[in-house]
Amino acid sequence: MIHIQHNKAIKNYTTFGVPVKAKKFTQFSDIQELKEVASHLEVLDEEMLILGGGSNLLFTKDFDGVVILNQIKGIEIISDNNEEVLIKSGAGENWHEFVLYCVDNDYAGIENLSLIPGSVGASPMQNIGAYGVEIKDVFHSLEAFHIETGEVRVFNKEECNFGYRESVFKNIYKDQYVITSVTFLLTKKPIFKTSYGAIKAELEAMGVEELSIKAISNAVINIRSSKLPNPKEIGNAGSFFKNPVIKKEQFDELIKNFPEIANYPLPNGDVKIAAGWLIDSLGWKGKRIGDYGVHKNQALVLVNYGNSSGGDIYNLSTDILNSVKQTFGIELEREVNIF
């Protein structure tokens, strides 16, 4: 039986922690309850927001609609042999706890994605990625509830059309489906991915002699804990901007003026630019305005030190976008979902 709350403060349901209210708030823990929500709330007539861990969104004002918290739990082994395991997780499971469950059971593939906040159900939304691994590398399928018809559809990898922090659920199917479970194909014969970022150095500092997925997971946890603000202490939603990808010709011009620019050539010839480098080089890193600003260790992360509004943080992001555009001619894109 679902319960609908009105005028609910939702600050504590998001990692940015800005003070906003939702006109209506409810939650579901299985498909039956989700069906009830869909029919009882006449959601089709109201703006609706499916909420996971609230770690990739920013509310700039009170939400004039229904916020619906996904609480579908449960982890199930679908098949298991000497080589690989097919594992299904309810969308409302916590992502990092799911990673630890897999690591502890020697199911390899997502150890590099340790300590990413949020829910399993949101992981395909933007094809979460870190340290050279993306969800698409281990994704098998997902189940999603179509809000308009109430039908549950299975999406395979191709149908999700994953890209860099992208999927169909962020564009053509935006606000049409609720992801209810995700199934991953993990391996028992790990291929260790340690070449990215500071992983190797951290493994060395930890004194690791025999590589394991547990060691990699711990290394990633250590690096992230030292570099990124903990949302329980300082409000944030991780990287506020995506890394821009530009054409080789544009890059060749840019590097003449900015020879230090942090860049990563992609297999198709385009070049990925580290957005953090662009923002840092313009002096934004560590800048604080009142109760909000840019994190001191990570220029991509905008932070709420306690009492700032979503509007203030959004305006700061616009100022950063404009200054990057003015100096480098590059249009940054926000990664965080704005409401």
Known catalytic residues? 165, 239, 335
> Which is closer to ligand NAP, CB of 70 or CB of 298?
298
- The conformation of residue 200, written as its DSSP 8-state character, comes to H
**CB of 255: closest distance to ligand FAD in angstroms?**
27
Output helix, strand, coil percentages for the chain, rounded to the nearest 5.
Answer: 30, 30, 45
Asked if 251 interacts with ligand NAP (CB under 6 A), we say no
Task: Output the residue with the shortest Cβ distance to ligand NAP.
Answer: 238
Q: Choose between 109 and 118: whose C-beta lies nearer to ligand FAD.
A: 118
- Report DSSP letters for 216-257, one per residue: HHHHHHHHHHHHSPPTTTSEEEEESBPPPEE-HHHHHHHHHH
Scan residues 223-242 and list those touching ligand NAP (CB under 6 A).
Answer: 227-228, 238-239
> How near is the Cβ of 45 to ligand NAP at its closest, in Å?
33
Exposed / middle / buried, residue 70 (Cβ in 10 Å: 0-12, 13-18, 19+)? buried
Residue 291 Cβ, how far from ligand FAD at the closest point, in Å? 18
Task: Select from ligand NAP, ligand FAD, none the partner in contact with residue 196, using the beta carbon and a kind-dependent cut-off of 5 to 8 Å.
Answer: ligand NAP
What is the distance between the alpha carbons of residues 149 and 145, in angstroms, rounded to a whole number? 9
Instruction: Answer yes or no whether residue 196 interacts with ligand NAP by CB under 6 A.
Output: yes
Tell me: does residue 31 bind ligand NAP (CB under 6 A): no
Distance separating alpha carbons of residues 144 and 69, to the nearest angstrom? 15
| Nearest alpha-carbon partner for 150 in 35, 50, 45, 27 | 35
- Cα dihedral across residues 106, 108, 112, 117: positive or negative: negative
Comparing CB distances to ligand NAP, the nearer of 124 and 129 is 129
Minimum CB distance to ligand NAP, residue 204 (Å): 16
Q: Is 274 in the site for ligand NAP (CB under 6 A)?
A: yes
Q: Which stretch binds ligand NAP (CB under 6 A): 16-24, 28-36, 126-134, 182-190?
A: 126-134
Q: How many residues line the site for ligand NAP (CB under 6 A)?
A: 15
Q: Which residues pair with 246 in a beta bridge?
A: 271
Dist. CA 43–CA 244, nearest whole Å? 35
